[in-house]
């Protein structure tokens, strides 16, 4: 009995420790989670992704700070900081002090231990230079101002890429502290949103119906703001239900064969995906999206952001990538979406675009409840044999003027033959 009682007591203590540790961990996480984490090894270890997570021209924040290949850009940061501070019309010490006041919060935005090599003064200098550099670059881009950072298209393209890397983010509270010094009211925030919208909208197209962003919280950093804008919508088309049925997907070519046509949505929001089924045909609306050399790294870093263990959001972007991957198998699928203005190919061949989405979706698992209504509608239409048979009939006999003429001529011959037969029988 004594031995059994001892084991029972030890078991109870062990279970209490487990539960207490879990409560302390949850309490700790609820107070502060790292908001700017490093890319998960499962993504970094993929050979095709190797160059998509590290900066090419400029390091932002502490993770890649001090690397020798970025020293030239550090000099340009100093020039940008001087230009930014000069436009503030206050003493440089005032601008710097605003950043210093936010440095404790900013340090907590990074993974534990990642900033320990920098004391408060050194860390503030990083935040100050990087913050001024980002805002001055955004100002030049959105106002078409000439500066050292934008005069070289090659440099500007790489800077635009580097600003949306997960490990290259600056806490938005630092940008806000600097914007309050330089800009009147919310002019700074409007400038940043304009910059983000320019990254989202395909060239020559506006983004109608896009709200100004989430009103219930401030963005954590530029990548977070980009994700919010990509997924924002005047009304959410997502249907989250308790139903967990999985729906098999077909490519664009297969869906087109059963009478499902494709249409460009009226906004650029990735949640603006709708399916309508009519008496015979169906219609799938998809938002327009531009594909170029920056798409792979930008999308991968959005995926990496959603995969962070402390992320407070769902897998909406990952689910979107999986949705498109299901539609795109081959170049002909890309060609069809391109002909409808849904995919704007600035990357190269249609094969390259198809390969891009196939690579992006490797090993990704979507949330089955996201786009549930759309998937369910497509599945129902696909399995409706009456609609599919009618589409096949119309496609076979009326796909071109000649086939339609041939069908009508053959039908006329059959009708005339029947009439002649009847006439012969009843009027010998």
- Do 313 and 190 belong together in one domain? no
Which DSSP state fits 202?
A: P
Q: What is the pLDDT of residues 310-344, one digit of tens each?
A: 776 789 999 999 999 999 999 999 999 999 999 99
- Do 376 and 396 belong together in one domain? no
- Do 342 and 415 belong together in one domain? no
Q: CA angle, 35 as apex, 30 and 37 as ends, to 5°?
A: 125
Q: Give the alpha-carbon dihedral of 252, 258, 259, 263, to 10 degrees.
A: -20
Q: CA angle, 140 as apex, 136 and 145 as ends, to 5°?
A: 135
Domain that holds residue 419: 387-426
Average pLDDT of 203-211?
49
**Residue 33 resides in a domain:** no
**Helix axis angle, 222-231 to 187-200, nearest 10°:** 60
Give me the number of domains the chain comprises: 3
Euclidean distance between CA atoms 420 and 272, whole angstroms: 58
Confidence label for 105 from pLDDT (cuts 50, 70 and 90):
very high
- Do 69 and 110 belong together in one domain? yes
**Residue 68 resides in a domain:** yes
Confidence label for 227 from pLDDT (cuts 50, 70 and 90):
very high
**Tokens of residue 161, six digits:** 């890429």
Higher pLDDT, 240 or 304: 304
Euclidean distance between CA atoms 268 and 204, whole angstroms: 13
- Do 221 and 338 belong together in one domain? no
- Do 322 and 410 belong together in one domain? no
Q: What is the pLDDT of residues 14-71, one digit of tens each?
A: 777 777 765 555 544 444 566 899 999 999 999 889 899 999 999 999 999 999 999 9
**Selection from 257, 254, 276 nearest residue 265 by Cα:** 276
**Residue 17 resides in a domain:** no
Q: What is the pLDDT of residues 151-180, one digit of tens each?
A: 665 688 899 999 999 999 999 999 999 999
Q: Give the alpha-carbon dihedral of 334, 336, 339, 341, to 10 degrees.
A: -70
**Tokens of residue 315, six digits:** 């897998």
**Selection from 378, 367, 358 nearest residue 262 by Cα:** 378
**Would you report the helix, strand and coil content of the chain in percent, each value rounded to 5?**
60, 5, 35
What percentage of the chain exceeds 90 in pLDDT?
A: 60
Residue 308 and residue 408 in contact, taking contact as beta carbons nearer than 8 Å: no
**Residue 146 resides in a domain:** yes
Give, in order, the Cα–Cα distances in Å from 177 to each of 86, 101, 123, 212.
16, 9, 15, 20
Give φ, ψ of 153 to 5 degrees.
Answer: -60, -35
Average pLDDT of 366-390?
79
pLDDT averaged over the chain? Answer: 83
Average pLDDT of 347-372?
93
Residue 38 and residue 147 in contact, taking contact as beta carbons nearer than 8 Å: no
- Do 344 and 400 belong together in one domain? no
**Residue 24 resides in a domain:** no
- Do 379 and 417 belong together in one domain? no
- Do 90 and 136 belong together in one domain? yes
CA–chain centroid gap for 76, Å, is 30
- Do 192 and 102 belong together in one domain? yes
Q: CA angle, 342 as apex, 49 and 211 as ends, to 5°?
A: 90
**Tokens of residue 135, six digits:** 């805002």
CB burial string 296-331: b at 16+ within 10 A, e below: bbbbbbbbbbbbbeeeeeebbbbbbbbbbbbbbbeb
- Do 264 and 371 belong together in one domain? yes
Q: What is the pLDDT of residues 117-134, one digit of tens each?
A: 999 999 999 999 999 999
Residue 243 reports pLDDT greater than 60 = no
**Residue 156 resides in a domain:** yes
């Amino acid at each position: 009995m004594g031995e059994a009682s001892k084991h029972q007591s030890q078991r109870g203590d062990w279970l209490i420790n487990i539960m207490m540790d879990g409560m302390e961990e949850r309490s700790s996480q609820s107070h502060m989670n790292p908001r700017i984490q490093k890319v998960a090894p499962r993504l970094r270890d993929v050979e095709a992704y190797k160059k998509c997570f590290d900066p090419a021209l400029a390091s932002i924040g502490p993770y890649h700070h001090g690397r020798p290949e970025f020293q030239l850009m550090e000099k340009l940061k100093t020039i940008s900081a001087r230009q930014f501070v000069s436009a503030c019309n206050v003493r440089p010490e005032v601008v710097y002090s605003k950043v210093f006041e936010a440095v404790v919060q900013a340090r907590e935005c990074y993974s534990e231990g990642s900033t320990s090599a920098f004391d408060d003064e050194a860390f503030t200098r990083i935040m100050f230079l990087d913050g001024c550099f980002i805002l001055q670059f955004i100002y030049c881009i959105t106002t078409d101002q000439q500066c050292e950072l934008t005069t070289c298209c090659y440099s500007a393209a790489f800077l635009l890429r580097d600003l949306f890397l997960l490990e290259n983010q600056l806490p938005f509270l630092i940008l806000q502290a600097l914007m309050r010094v330089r800009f009147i009211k919310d002019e700074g925030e409007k400038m940043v949103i304009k910059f983000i919208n320019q990254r989202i909208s395909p060239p020559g197209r506006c983004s109608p119906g896009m709200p100004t962003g989430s009103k219930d919280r401030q963005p954590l950093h530029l990548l977070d703001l980009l994700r919010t804008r990509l997924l924002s919508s005047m009304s959410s088309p997502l249907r989250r239900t308790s139903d967990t049925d999985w729906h098999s997907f077909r490519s664009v070519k297969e869906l087109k064969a059963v009478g499902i046509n494709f249409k460009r949505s009226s906004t650029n929001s990735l949640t603006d995906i709708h399916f309508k089924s009519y008496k015979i045909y169906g219609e799938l609306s998809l938002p327009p999206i531009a594909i170029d050399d920056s798409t792979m790294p930008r999308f991968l870093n959005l995926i990496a952001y959603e995969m962070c263990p402390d992320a407070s959001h769902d897998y909406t972007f990952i689910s979107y990538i999986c949705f498109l991957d299901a539609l795109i198998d081959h170049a002909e699928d890309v060609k069809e979406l391109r002909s409808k203005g849904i995919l704007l190919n600035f990357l190269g061949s249609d094969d390259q675009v198809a390969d891009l989405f196939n690579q992006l979706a490797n090993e990704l698992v979507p949330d089955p409840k996201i786009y549930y209504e759309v998937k369910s509608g497509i599945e129902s239409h696909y399995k409706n044999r009456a609609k599919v048979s009618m589409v096949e009939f119309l496609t076979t006999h009326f796909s071109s003027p000649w086939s339609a003429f041939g069908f009508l001529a053959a039908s006329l011959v059959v009708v005339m033959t029947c009439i002649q037969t009847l006439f012969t029988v009843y009027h010998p």
